[in-house]
Amino acid sequence: AEAEAEAQLLLQEARESIEAARSYRRELEQRLRGLHQARNQVRESATLTRDVLEQHFNDLKGTLKKLLDERLISLLQEVDAIEQESIKPLDECQKLIEHGVSTADDVLREGESAVHGDVGQQNEKLCNFTKKALHIQLDSLPEVPSLVDVPCLSAQLDDCLLTILKNEIFRHGTVASRPPVQLEEFVEKPGGILVRWCKVDDDFIPQDYRLQYRKSTASHFEDVYVGSETEFIVLHIDPNVDYQFRVCARGDGRQEWSPWSVPQIGRTTLVPHEWTTGLEGYSLSSRRNIALRNDSQSCGVLYSKAPTYFCGQTLTFRQVLLGIETVGQPDRRDSLGVCVEQQNGYDSLQRDKAVCISTNGAVFVNGKEMTNQLPAVTSGSTVTFDMEVVQLGPSSSEGGNFKLRVTISSNNREVVFDWVLDQCCVSLYFGCSFSYPGWKVLVF
């Protein structure tokens, strides 16, 4: 019996060792995959960086050659213009001198003919020649400029340009082994993803961040946020679809952006919040996440299409600006909030099985106004609802009281209270009601 027990114990220990070995092997294989991914990242990023550097410097070469060619053409045209402008008066003077030489030759021939001519006609020829010579003004000579008075072209080429270019080129461009900012966290939102990032370089002082994303099937990234915050909710995200994100930063006082962070995949499994269609007093956007109170006389509560708000999430209402307009006229019956079920026939959420905030900041729980009040909802205001289940023991799920801890925030102030219901409820409808037109609300 003892031998059999010892054999069983040894067998058990062997099985545990085998399982530990399998677990150890799985962990090593996982780490090996991580090592392969790291190696691939280094090689792929190095290849991409080489391509970017070669393309950039080839572009610089082409641009620099084009600029030098344009400057050379400009200088040659300037030489041509000075040459033509300077040669023109010299050509005119040459023509005048050549004409004078020709005239002098004619006078000289005529004078020699008069002197050596027939004696009978000599006096008359001499008289005519003398008059003509006096008329020509043989003592008047054209002015010829001296060499110091005419242009002498030369090219002034400063060798310091090469020194300046050399110094600038040697300082141009850097290679970074790690980006100064990295993506930190993805939080699922209904029809969206909250993206957070952080600075990982202590010496880098960021001024602005730039977040981009793309669908896994798309070829190009697009900007989705530029600003000083370190988180942003990206909306219009299709559920259960992979999106790739990356972020970079711009240093304080700099114009250029830093290298991109390592791209990471984010997704949401939560369907987007949508307002229900068909209520006459409200117009909806194409994605049905924005509701506009129109000028219809009809009134009532606009509910969500389905109970898509779950406890543990944050529900956000944002008052959207309408051009230069502000918001509609407030009314004490106005409300933004959540409820257990849709109930038609009411003109406000200030009723049983609902919690809401009015546009004047009053908070209502099951139709009763609380003593605590939040700031009024105005143009650009954001109102958030956060709820969590408060455990009351086994009876809470068996028909007893069910309690939710509710936090409503508006304009940097919040109220916290317990909402007691007579039934278990972890998914809720949201709704709004406005008495006057002009209110436009985005929900996410």
Residue 48 three-state SS = helix
pLDDT tens, per residue, the chain with 444 residues: 788 888 888 899 899 999 999 999 999 999 999 999 889 989 988 998 899 899 999 999 999 999 999 999 999 999 999 999 999 988 988 888 888 888 788 778 777 777 776 655 667 777 777 777 777 766 677 788 888 888 888 998 888 888 898 998 998 888 878 899 999 999 999 889 999 999 998 888 999 999 999 998 888 999 999 999 999 999 889 999 999 999 999 988 888 899 899 999 999 998 899 999 989 899 999 989 999 999 888 888 999 999 999 988 899 998 865 433 446 788 899 999 999 999 988 989 999 999 999 999 999 999 999 998 999 988 788 999 999 988 654 544 444 578 899 999 998 899 999 998 888 888 899 999 999 888 999 999
* Non-local CB neighbours of 389 within 8 Å, separated by 6+ positions: 311, 402, 403, 404, 405, 426
Domain limits, CATH 2.60.120.920, in the chain: 282-443
Q: What is the pLDDT of residue 116?
A: 73
E strands, 104-254, in order: 181-189, 192-199, 206-215, 222-227, 231-234, 243-251
Residue 381 amino acid letter: S
What sign does the dihedral 8-9-11-15 (CA atoms) show?
Answer: positive
Are 195 and 186 in contact by the 8 Å Cβ rule? The answer is yes
State the fold for domain 181-268. Immunoglobulin-like (2.60.40)
Q: What is the pLDDT of residue 323?
A: 39
Q: What is the pLDDT of residue 220?
A: 93
Give the homologous superfamily in CATH for domain 282-443. SPRY domain (2.60.120.920)
Could you count the other beta carbons within 10 Å of the beta carbon of residue 210? 18
Residues 49 and 41: their CA atoms lie apart, in Å, by 12
The residue behind tokens 């990206």 is 234
Chain centroid to Cα 301, Å, comes to: 38
Q: What is the pLDDT of residue 277?
A: 92
CA-nearest of 206, 182, 180, 184 to 195 is: 184
CA 326 to each of CA 166, 332, 381, 418: distance values in angstroms, whole numbers, following the listed order: 57, 18, 11, 33
Domain limits, CATH 2.60.40.10, in the chain: 181-268
Are 173 and 50 in contact by the 8 Å Cβ rule? The answer is no
**pTM of the predicted protein model:** 0.62
Adjacent-strand bridge partners of 299:
none
Are 356 and 336 in contact by the 8 Å Cβ rule? The answer is yes
